[in-house]
Amino acid sequence: MAEALEKAGIRAVLTGGACAAIHTAGEYQSEDLDFILQSASSQEELDEVMRGIGYRRAGEQYFHPETRFFVEFPVGPLGIGRDLSITPVKVRLGRKGSIRALSPTDSCRDRLSAFIHWNDRQSLEAAVKIALQNPVEMKKIRTWSASEGAAERFEEFSRELARARQRRRRTSYH
């Protein structure tokens, strides 16, 4: 899909739960793929590209008959909380190519944003799993959390991450 969008000149960045699923090697599951568009394209152009790879639009979502995942294109800009200075990275997807997505640090912040703003505990767990499996910039996450007025939520995340690291060490010794 990312290749088809790119080929049509549509720049899209994977965000949300699907991005977290990539950065946790599937430990976190998502039912949808959220792409934020970073280039101007009409609804007709987007529909045409998606139709070309077997997707049909129903409302704001695109569905494919051979997969349970649906695709959405939430309104941008690409941002995490109040931070709109997001630099996407290219993430390799096995031999299937690569996709433009949030970095592990930004994906962690994205999940923490859901925890901060909606008290979504599952998103806190996803953020911990991302940080457990990837190098993330904890200072950047701490600074961002404080700017969101959520320093105490960062501390909770930090405690949960420390617990997860302890559990991992205990199980790796046995």
CATH of the domain at 8: 3.30.460
Task: Show pLDDT as tens, one digit a residue, over the chain (174 residues).
Answer: 888 999 999 999 999 999 999 999 999 999 999 999 998 889 999 999 999 999 999 999 999 999 999 999 999 999 999 999 999 999 988 777 889 999 999 999 999 999 999 999 999 999 999 999 999 999 999 999 999 999 999 999 999 999 999 998 888 765
Show the domain range for 6: 2-173
Structural domains in the chain (count): 1
Report pLDDT for 118. 95
> How many beta carbons lie within 10 A of that of residue 121, not counting itself?
11
